[in-house]
């Protein structure tokens, strides 16, 4: 093969890559916390007795799940200013991730809620718990425990999906990679290193979520 690899050409730009990793991490963290929060709210609204709200959440879920993240991002960043909503690149990227993960986690959490035996809820009702108490103490924790692996995978998928936020010039990892590529034309090396960074990040994120899940669910069960 004629091509000579020169990974040394990447080294001078390590700071840009690090900044990219940090911004991707920030986006992922904001997206994960707010997105899962939105998902829990959405799942609760789906089980609520008001059909209108339940249907509205249903439409949101189907719309988001059946359109590409990139189009949602473009719609938010380029389309919303027409309505007078002007967002920075970072805000638009974060909002797109929250909205996207919110829809998926609504469905995932809902599946967990549906798996709670009806007897548990009836028992709680007979203890005179109100709806909020039942949701908080009886439903959500066992539901989350059950769907934690699925939720974790979805968080990782959304983190990786943030790579396309480079297209609205949010300065995350892929943006940094493109920038470096534009400076030294070492496309293959840059993207190779960046792909490796993403792989490490997704493996780390999965481990962190696993440990966090154990902390949330296991210890309290033994206590």
Residues at the contact surface with other proteins, assessed by CB under 8 A:
1-3, 62-63, 65-72, 74-75, 78-83, 156, 160-164, 166-167, 174, 177, 187-188, 191-192, 194-195, 198-199, 202-203
Write the CB contacts of 167 (distance below 8 Å, at least 6 apart in sequence).
Answer: 70, 73, 74
- What is d(CA 9, CA 180) in angstroms, rounded to the nearest whole number? 10
- The smaller minimum CB distance to other proteins, of residues 75 and 217, is found at 75
Q: How far is the CB of 187 from other proteins (least distance, A)?
A: 4
- The smaller minimum CB distance to other proteins, of residues 71 and 183, is found at 71
**HSE-up of 34 (CA within 13 Å, CB side)?**
13
- CB atoms < 10 A from the CB of 149, how many? 14
Q: How far is the CB of 207 from other proteins (least distance, A)?
A: 12
Find out whether 144 and 217 touch, Cβ atoms under 8 Å. Answer: yes
- The smaller minimum CB distance to other proteins, of residues 33 and 200, is found at 200
Helix (H, G, I), strand (E, B) or coil at 85: coil
Q: How far is the CB of 137 from other proteins (least distance, A)?
A: 30
- The smaller minimum CB distance to other proteins, of residues 115 and 127, is found at 115
Q: How far is the CB of 206 from other proteins (least distance, A)?
A: 8
- Residue 89, burial from CB neighbour count under 10 angstroms (0-12, 13-18, 19+): middle
Write the CB contacts of 211 (distance below 8 Å, at least 6 apart in sequence).
Answer: none
Alpha-carbon 47 to chain mean position: 22
Q: How far is the CB of 215 from other proteins (least distance, A)?
A: 23
- The smaller minimum CB distance to other proteins, of residues 32 and 156, is found at 156
């Amino acid at each position: 093969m004629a091509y000579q690899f020169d990974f040394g050409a990447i080294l001078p730009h390590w700071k840009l890559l690090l900044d990219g990793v940090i911004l991707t991490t920030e986006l992922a963290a904001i997206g994960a916390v707010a997105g899962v929060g939105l998902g829990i709210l959405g799942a609760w609204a789906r089980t609520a007795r008001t059909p209108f709200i339940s249907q509205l959440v249903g439409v949101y879920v189907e719309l988001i799940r059946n359109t590409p993240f990139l189009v949602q991002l473009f719609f938010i960043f380029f389309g919303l200013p027409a309505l007078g909503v002007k967002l920075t690149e970072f805000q638009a990227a974060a909002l797109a991730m929250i909205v996207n993960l919110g829809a998926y986690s609504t469905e995932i959490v809902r599946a967990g809620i549906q798996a709670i035996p009806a007897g548990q809820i009836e028992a709680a009702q007979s203890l005179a718990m109100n709806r909020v108490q039942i949701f908080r103490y009886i439903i959500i924790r066992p539901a989350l425990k059950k769907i934690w692996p699925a939720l974790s995978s979805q968080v990782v998928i959304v983190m990786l999906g943030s790579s396309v936020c480079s297209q609205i010039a949010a300065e995350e990892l892929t943006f940094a990679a493109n920038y470096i590529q534009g400076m030294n034309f070492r496309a293959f090396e840059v993207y190779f290193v960046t792909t490796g960074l993403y792989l490490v990040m997704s493996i780390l994120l999965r481990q962190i979520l696993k440990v966090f899940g154990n902390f949330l669910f296991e210890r309290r069960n033994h206590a």
